[in-house]
Amino acid sequence: MSDIVFTRLSGWIPNVIREDGELKLTLGAGADANHEPRTFTFPIGEAHLAVIQEDLARHLLLWSAVLPLCDAAGTRGSLDENAAVALLDPILLSAPADVDALFRRIPWDRGRLIAHGAHIDLLERGQVCAALRTATETSDAKRAQEYQANRRRAERGTVLGPLDAAILRYTGQYLHGSTIPKRMPDAVDPALLPEVVRVVATAEQACAGMRIGRDPRRGKRATDKSAWERMAAAVEAAVRRAHAGLADDAVRSVSFLMCSEAAARSKGAPVEDDEEAGDGVGTGGRARKTALSFTDDKGVEKKWRQGGPRSAGAEFWEFVGDRSASDNEVFTIEDEEMGEGVQLHFYADSIARVTTVREGGGGSEPEYRVEYGLVDGMDGYRKLVSTFVLGGCAALDRHGPWTSDVAEFERARRRRRAAQ
């Protein structure tokens, strides 16, 4: 049986209990293999209890010093009770100067003290007792997170100016750079908000008209990485020109915001009907395709006919998004009536156009002409598919060069890869 002898407002600060007549400090820290919180206890004396009850600073310092021992116990190990007990007298009963000296020798949880109001500058100078004069029983986790974020930046050699910090707060990136950005004007000092808005306006102008579509090669909702990189580069270059002196973190945060918003717009829109913008004029004179067959590398087939609710391009890219995988990266569009088609090789950033030279008959096999071309990312694939749908293989002439020499094509592909 155990009874609580002393507790504070925050349930996380260690409590004192009496268990089978013995005083113990108990605290929750870490988690077990099932992600359930672990609880640790170790014995204390009456003199220790008296200090814990009267001196919040010493109580918090003890907690900060015991937490690394809990971390060392891991998900299933035992607390090193001897090490924990050895901390009691030096932290709770020693003079402030001796406590400061101890904390220069042992590991301790700095963030926990900062969350409870410790003076950061004094803490950094090793004056832990003086730093805890401003301590509070309630914690402010955000304060500790901001401290850790600034410390990580300092380790990278990054120093934020007031505008840099304001931009990061505006985009929600101040604490964690990987957080999906959004616009948070209320998080910014009103005096700096107009300047932040001007930086964002520069970014918006730099990427006006640009878009980040989906990349069905990587799944139904995957983002086109190349388009993202182009937009990010355009935004960062413009912001650096117009607002010299901004930290890289701030510049990247604004480009991340622009790219994330553009990608979100594409994900919420239907698959693009790229070929609907044309009418076949200038694509080789062929009529628009009226019936096509889509197949993947697993032998799955899908038919499309003109007059349905969706265009050929939309149907094809949806088919790719549904079927594409690491072991399924070759897709074909075939016009059986015209005897031509294209085969897309996503693993190699290449395409083959296939045309029937002579129909088979009388026991002879049909003869085909196969020509290969390199493709520049998802935009290149979209353009080629759209062109084929509008004008067939002949319309692809202007999107060359094309070659029937497989060995020469492989050399060209290797040269491009080496240059990337």
| DSSP secondary structure letters along 254-276 | HHHHHHHHHHHHHHTSPPP-GGG
What pLDDT was estimated at residue 279?
40
What pLDDT was estimated at residue 390?
92
For the chain, 420 residues long, the average pLDDT of each consecutive 10-residue run is 87 91 92 88 96 97 97 92 97 97 96 96 96 95 92 90 96 89 96 98 96 89 91 97 96 97 81 46 56 95 90 93 94 94 95 86 78 93 94 92 92 85
Q: Is the peptide bond before 162 cis (omega within 30 degrees of 0)?
A: no
The C-alpha atoms of residue 5 and residue 46 are separated, in whole angstroms, by 11
Identity of residue 356: T
What pLDDT was estimated at residue 412?
87
Which residue spans within 219-317 are E strands per DSSP? Answer: 291-295, 301-305
pTM of the model: 0.74
What pLDDT was estimated at residue 121?
95
Which distant-in-sequence residues (6+ apart) come within 8 Å of 290 by Cβ?
305, 306, 337
What pLDDT was estimated at residue 420?
73
What pLDDT was estimated at residue 196?
98
Residue 321 and residue 219 in contact, taking contact as beta carbons nearer than 8 Å:
yes
What pLDDT was estimated at residue 361?
65
Residue 30 and residue 38 in contact, taking contact as beta carbons nearer than 8 Å:
yes
